[in-house]
Structure 1
Amino acid sequence: MGVGVRILFFRFSYFVRLVAASLILIGFWPQDALAQTRINLIRDAEIETIIRNYATPLFEAADLDPAAIGIHIVANPRLNAFVAAGQHLFLNTGLLIEAANASQVIGVIAHETGHIAGGHLIRGQEALRGASMQTLIAAIVGIGVGIATGNGQATSAILTGGSGIATSNFLQFSRGQEAAADQAGLSFLEETDQSATGFLEFLEILEKQDLLSSRRQSPYLRTHPLTRDRVSFVREYVNTHPGGTEPSPEITKSFRRIQAKLIGFMQPFRRVMRHYPKSDTSLEARYAHSIAYYRREEIDRALPLIDGLIELEPDNAYFHELRGQMLFENGRLEESLPSYKNAVRLDPSSALLRMGLAHVQLEIPDSRENHPAMEHLLYAIEKERDNPQIWQLLAIGYGREKAYGMSALALAEKALRLGDKVTAIQQATRAQKKMPKGSPGWIRAQDIKITTNLHP
Structure 2
Amino acid sequence: MTGLFRTIIMMMAALMLSTALLVRPAAAQQILRDAETEQLLRDASADIITSAGLRPEDVEIVLIGDDSINAFVAGGQIVYLHSGLITEADNLNQVQGVIAHEVGHITGGHIIRFADGQKQALGITIISLLLGAAAMAAGAGDAGMGIMAAGQRAAMGQFLAFTRAQEASADQAGAKFLGDAGISGKGSLEFFAKLQNQEYRLNIPQEDSYNRTHPLSRERIAALTDVYQASPYWNRPTDAALEARFQRVRAKLLGFVNPERALREFPHGDQSAQAHFARAYAYHRGVRPEASLNEVEALENLLPDNPYVLEMKGQFLLENGRPEEAIPALRRAVQLAPDQPLIATTFGHALVASEERENYAEAKDLLKAAVTRDRKNPFAWFQLGVIYAAEGDEARASLASAERQQMLGQHQLAMVSAKRAMNGIEEGSADWIRAQDIFMTSGHEVQENEKNGKKERRR
TM over 0.5: yes
Which residue does the alignment assign to 2:192?
203
Alignment RMSD? 2.8
The 3 A distance-change label for structure 1 pair 332 and 228 is closer
Structure 2 residue matching 1:73: 3-state secondary structure: strand
AA at the equivalent of 1:261: K
Structure 1 residue matching 2:63: 3-state secondary structure: strand
Q: Aligned-pair distance for 1:46?
A: 1.0
Note the 1:299-310 alignment, pairs <5 A: 299-310=289-300
For the Cα contact (< 8 Å) 1:122–1:171, is it kept in 2? no
- 1:251 pairs with 239, 242, 266, which one? 242
Which residue does the alignment assign to 1:192?
181
Structure 1 residue matching 2:421: 3-state secondary structure: helix
Note the 1:39-78 alignment, pairs <5 A: 39-78=29-68
- 1:176 pairs with 158, 162, 165, which one? 165
Q: Aligned-pair distance for 1:315?
A: 2.2
How many percent identity over aligned positions? 38
Q: Aligned-pair distance for 1:380?
A: 1.3
AA at the equivalent of 1:408: S
Counterpart CA distance in 2 for 1:117 and 1:96 is 23
Q: Aligned-pair distance for 1:445?
A: 2.2
AA at the equivalent of 2:36: E
Counterpart CA distance in 1 for 2:107 and 2:164 is 17
Q: How many residues align?
A: 375
Note the 1:22-421 alignment, pairs <5 A: 39-123=29-113, 174-211=163-200, 213=202, 224-226=214-216, 228-244=218-234, 245-269=236-260, 271-421=261-411
Q: Aligned-pair distance for 1:368?
A: 1.7
Counterpart CA distance in 1 for 2:93 and 2:115 is 29
Q: Aligned-pair distance for 1:450?
A: 2.7
AA at the equivalent of 1:102: L
Counterpart CA distance in 1 for 2:318 and 2:161 is 43
The 3 A distance-change label for structure 1 pair 246 and 363 is same
Structure 1 or 2: more helix by fraction: 2
Any stretches of 5+ residues in structure 2 without a counterpart? 1-26, 117-155, 448-459
AA at the equivalent of 1:180: S
Q: Does 1:426 align with 2:416?
A: yes
**Cα offsets for 1:343-394 (capped at 9, x unmatched):** 1111110111111111111111211211111111111111222322222222
Q: Aligned-pair distance for 1:228?
A: 4.5
TM-score by length of 2: 0.76
Structure 1 residue matching 2:237: 3-state secondary structure: coil
Counterpart CA distance in 1 for 2:160 and 2:354 is 45
Structure 2 residue matching 1:183: 3-state secondary structure: helix
Any stretches of 5+ residues in structure 1 without a counterpart? 1-36, 127-166
Counterpart CA distance in 2 for 1:280 and 1:385 is 39
**Cα offsets for 1:246-276 (capped at 9, x unmatched):** 212112211111121012112133x322211
**Cα offsets for 1:25-71 (capped at 9, x unmatched):** xxxxxxxxxxxx96221111111111111111111111112222221
Counterpart CA distance in 1 for 2:252 and 2:174 is 28
Higher relative contact order (CA 8 A, sep 6+): 1
Structure 2 residue matching 1:424: 3-state secondary structure: helix
The 3 A distance-change label for structure 1 pair 85 and 248 is same
**Cα offsets for 1:159-206 (capped at 9, x unmatched):** xxxxxxxx9x99997222222212211111111211101101111222
Q: Does 1:440 align with 2:430?
A: yes
For the Cα contact (< 8 Å) 2:160–2:212, is it kept in 1? no
Q: Aligned-pair distance for 1:96?
A: 0.6
Counterpart CA distance in 2 for 1:186 and 1:375 is 45
- 1:451 pairs with 434, 441, 454, which one? 441
For the Cα contact (< 8 Å) 2:259–2:281, is it kept in 1? no
Counterpart CA distance in 1 for 2:349 and 2:444 is 34
AA at the equivalent of 1:361: L
Larger radius of gyration: 2
TM-score by length of 1: 0.76
